[in-house]
Amino acid sequence: MTYFWLKAGHVIFVIFWMAGLFMLPRFFVYHQEDGPPGSEEDARWIEREQRLLKIILLPSMVIVWLLGLSLAFAADTWMQGWFHAKLFFVLLLSGYHGWMAAYAKKLARGERSLEGRKLRLLNEVPGVAAAVIVILAIVKPF
Ligand code: HEM
């Protein structure tokens, strides 16, 4: 029973984490299009991005990791192929999260190193990673 509660919590926070990962690059696109550096709009977007990172993204990622690792201990999945592959993609997703947090800091300093088209393309990363991770966790193909 405890295991199922852990799993429910895990999936709930996965949803919050993914929602944040989908929203942030969208924010970056609107920020760069509508808020020239130093403008009032620029300050408002910086505040929105920092709040999304602090209130949703960071806590969700930490909880997903804690509950995911608890599940791995409880079900002893350490030697299973699907779990190794899942960990690889989850590490990739965590790296993407870190890269986005760094890009938000750059934007706050007035640096805009990527154009909107590239940001929109990067927005596909969490979607593809989530699809692969969910298939690995549910189908367990190997
Ligand atoms: C952060 C590191 C993560 C770890 C260590 C982890 C580990 C685990 C483990 C051990 C299970 C239990 C599998 C079972 O009972 O057969 C599980 C379930 C699940 N995980 Fe994760 N997970 C992580 C992140 C994620 C992410 C990012 C996603 C989705 C994008 C995800 C989606 C799922 C789903 C959908 C299940 C339920 C599978 C089922 O039906 O049993 N997990 N996770």
CB of 126 within 6 A of ligand 1: the answer is: no
Task: Please report the pLDDT score of residue 56 as a whole number.
Answer: 98
CB burial readout 108-131, b (16+ within 10 A) else e: beeebebeeeebeebbebbeebbe
C-alpha 38 – ligand 1 centre gap (Å): 42
Structure tokens at 126: 């969490």
Would you state the pLDDT for residue 23? 96
Residue of 4, 14, 66, 87 best suited for mutating to test ligand 1, as the one with most atoms within 8 Å of CB = 14
User: Atom 3 in ligand 1: which residue has the minimum CA distance?
Assistant: 68
Predicted TM-score (pTM) of this structure = 0.94
95 C-alpha to ligand 1 centroid (Å): 17
Is 6 close to ligand 1, i.e. is its CB under 6 Å away?
no
pLDDT of residue 105: 97
Q: What whole-number distance in Å separates Cα of residue 109 and Cα of residue 43?
A: 11
What are the DSSP calls for 94-128, one per residue?
Answer: HHHHHHHHHHHHHHHTT---S-HHHHHHHTHHHHH
Residue nearest to atom 41 of ligand 1 (CA): 138
Per-residue pLDDT tens over the stretch 18-64: 999 999 999 999 999 998 999 999 999 999 999 999 999 999 999 99
Q: Which of 79-83, 95-99, 100-104, 122-126 is predicted least confidently?
A: 122-126
How does the average pLDDT of the chain come out, rounded?
97
- The pLDDT value given to residue 71: 98
> pLDDT value at position 124?
94
Confidence (pLDDT) at 88 = 98
* Ligand 1 atom at minimal distance to the Cα of residue 77: 10
pLDDT 10s digits, 60-76: 999 999 999 999 999 99
